[in-house]
A and B are shown apart, each in its own frame.
Chain A
């Protein structure tokens, strides 16, 4: 595989940490982050492949379980072994692999791992310092643990969905699996918490990560506001959720000649907006900017309607007004900033050799961020079984013939 580390740093932050990754869907982001930090992440997937592999986009819309876009991104840097967890032999192999790992990540329905002999208790009885991170929609226990979740349902119950969208229309979900992917980020962070705790005490731990918690976490400040003043925040379009009349405005998205700009006031000097858009009546509105938001929008719109978004942002930024362009995906791919920072990378997948995808989530001066292409199904089965468990070729062939491994 091609290592895309354009530097000479050799030892990664999580070098030496081995992770068994049994997650599916967007929960796979946890393992991707840990692989980026240099952990050896072994993706234990069904013999027919993780259902994530059926998620697009696909080139020319032709489904291919090796080249789905979300798989290529969320499984980057991992190794793959295909195992049938429904068979006793598969369960035994999976257990042996897990017991050779520091960490196990999983996102099954709560209770499923009990039914295949891989509960935390049974694993920890063999390896007391094991760290398990279970990610789910509602959590591993409690009255709603068996509820059926999805991104939109998790954000509904998590109080997040009501806060997104225009006030005069039904609430609208955030893009794609935003909250589930954020849950996976909490899962990756919990993993390192577990490792630090283990370093200090020798103890393992079981982390219970829930998407509804992540939804609530993302809401932030309005949570406290409610407890302070009893005001229940409501969706406010592109405006901030704090609606006191004297609150800063604009912070919003407005149309211009060729798209949209994000318009934002300078919170130390509200008058700067009137320097950008002079002599059109903004100044008298600044005593209570949020209270005058509709009027400020009308005035800004008239000024913006004849102007190019890139030009507007350039002028605004020169005045230290934090305006930005609302970029489309096509514009992002042409963006000179991301190009100069080598953020989008081609990981040279043999079946998708001309694809760019997001690279580093962090840059570190001493240790590399690992970008390595996603594995084919079972690409590393032999090396993992031989190298980790010492299972010889003859036995592997037998397991393969029985359909236990792929």
Chain B
């Protein structure tokens, strides 16, 4: 294996929900040892939709949920009760041997646990601590609770997603979580490098709302510059027309098309067998095509409805026009370009068998492994941490388990 960017870096991850776990995945993929610390009582034993175990594996449904496995690939899992004094002591001893601590608890809980940056810095002077609060560690919304879609709502993204005559919308699953997770990975790696050069650790605060609002600048500026109230614009584009999603032959089949220039519009008119439309003075320039966008949509839809989405894509791409069939997830997974890029990396999970994970959006000559490994089974790093890192005796380990400070199975 080639050398990895985060070789010999140890990260302690105290996170829930999505953003923190995504950050941990990226750091693990880049070679860090990421130890996720989870409360013995934090996980539901119910796992709707879990697949069966592979032959010979124990039937632990809690180890087989899609959500957990996607979000914790490549990590180790220590099940530790931080609310008990001995649990907290174990955590602090781990901090002495760690480079980074990531958490996304509410500010109140961090205070109660006594594990904020000021405290951890006393244990290890150059520790790097990362908090990923929804709204930040100051301001009137500091203590508000929210998950990803709720932050999408407050950032303006929901208001701006959808059709002008419809409701505000949600892009796919969430946006701000993955965005915050990557931004955290970026900043943490920078902070590690800074520490390597200066000997100084630091505290990084990454408010998910503020990371997400990096996308909303154009709408905010339009309010300030033009006293306009930016609204949803459906599939239309400010600088390209026509652009849209058009129904194709078959059930629930669609193609997305963007016409970027007047010349592309001429080609398109030829392709759909309506050269006279290409010469129609109303449609010659962008302004005209935006004015008559709905008429053009009808013309285009009439053509796409007679062919499959793949035929539409191939025909238009052949003429240099951006077009893409709307792929279902299963179609995307078997798509030749994703296959070529190894975007999905297969790894073997001890209780579920082999499943693919989506790696980050880059591949490279050196950092090409893509995914560090499968998600951990519950408590799979308990012995590693207690034996190898902290040298507890067998008796001491048993006592910790008896007192449910460390647990090899969730306590519900």
Contacts and interface: CB of A to CB of B under 8 A. Distances in A.
Contacts of A361: 183, 187, 206, 210-211, 214
B245 A152 contact: yes
Nearest to B327: A159
Chain A contact residues: over half helix, strand or loop, or mixed? Answer: mixed
B66 A228 contact: yes
Contact of A224 (B69, B145, B215, B239): B69
26 contacts: A72-B221, A156-B245, A156-B254, A157-B325, A161-B245, A162-B329, A172-B235, A174-B172, A175-B215, A176-B160, A193-B189, A208-B341, A208-B364, A216-B332, A222-B173, A262-B154, A326-B153, A332-B154, A332-B220, A336-B139, A341-B136, A355-B225, A357-B220, A362-B204, A364-B203, A366-B200
Interface string A209-221: 1111110111111
Contacts of A328: 156, 159, 229
B360 interface: yes
A14 interface: yes
Given A183-B361, A340-B139, A220 B70 contact: yes
Interface stretch (B74-82, B316-324, B399-407): B316-324
B32 to A, nearest CB: 10
Contacts of A337: 135-136, 139-141
Given A156-B324, A213-B343, A208 B362 contact: yes
Interface stretch (A92-100, A237-245, A278-286, A393-401): A237-245
A386 to B, nearest CB: 28
A203 B366 CA distance: 9
Interface in A1-33: 11, 13-14, 29, 33
Interface stretch (A40-48, A80-88, A194-202, A376-384): A194-202
B26 A221 contact: no
A183 B215 CA distance: 12
B220 A356 contact: yes
Contacts of A360: 210
A266 B14 CA distance: 20
A356 B321 CA distance: 36
B222 A362 contact: no
A145 to B, nearest CB: 8
Given A247-B48, A326-B168, 5 more contacts: A61-B226, A158-B327, A360-B210, A363-B205, A365-B203
A220 B174 contact: yes
B306 interface: no
Given A162-B328, A366-B200, A237 B170 contact: yes
Given A209-B361, A210-B361, A363 B204 contact: yes
Interface in B44-90: 46, 48-51, 64, 66-67, 69-71
A188 B48 CA distance: 37
B226 A164 contact: no
Nearest to B201: A366
B317 A197 contact: no
A121 to B, nearest CB: 11
Contact of B335 (A58, A157, A324): A157
Given A213-B361, A328-B159, A159 B329 contact: yes
A317 interface: yes
A19 to B, nearest CB: 13
Interface string B206-238: 110011011111111111111011100011011
A160 B229 CA distance: 27
Nearest to A167: B252
B70 A73 contact: no
A403 interface: no
B70 A364 contact: no
A238 B170 contact: yes
Contact of A148 (B204, B320, B361): B320
A233 B67 CA distance: 14
B182 A186 contact: yes
Q: Please classify how large the interface on chain B is, using the bins under 10, 10 to 19, 20 to 34, 35 or more.
A: 35 or more
B166 interface: yes
B213 A358 contact: yes
Interface string B151-172: 1111111111111001111111
A260 interface: yes
A15 to B, nearest CB: 8
Nearest to B26: A189
B366 A246 contact: no
A35 interface: no
Contact of A208 (B217, B257, B363): B363
Contacts of A391: none
Closest CB pairs A-B (n = 6): A142-B340, A366-B202, A159-B332, A174-B171, A262-B153, A69-B221
Contact of A189 (B247, B341, B360): B360
B166 A357 contact: no
Nearest to B213: A358
Most chain B CB neighbours (cut-off 10 Å) among A55, A61, A228: A228
Given A152-B235, A244-B48, A328-B159, A69 B218 contact: yes
B365 interface: yes
B135 A362 contact: no
A207 interface: yes
A217 B217 contact: no
A207 B204 contact: no
A343 B207 CA distance: 10
Contacts of A13: 187, 190-191, 193-194
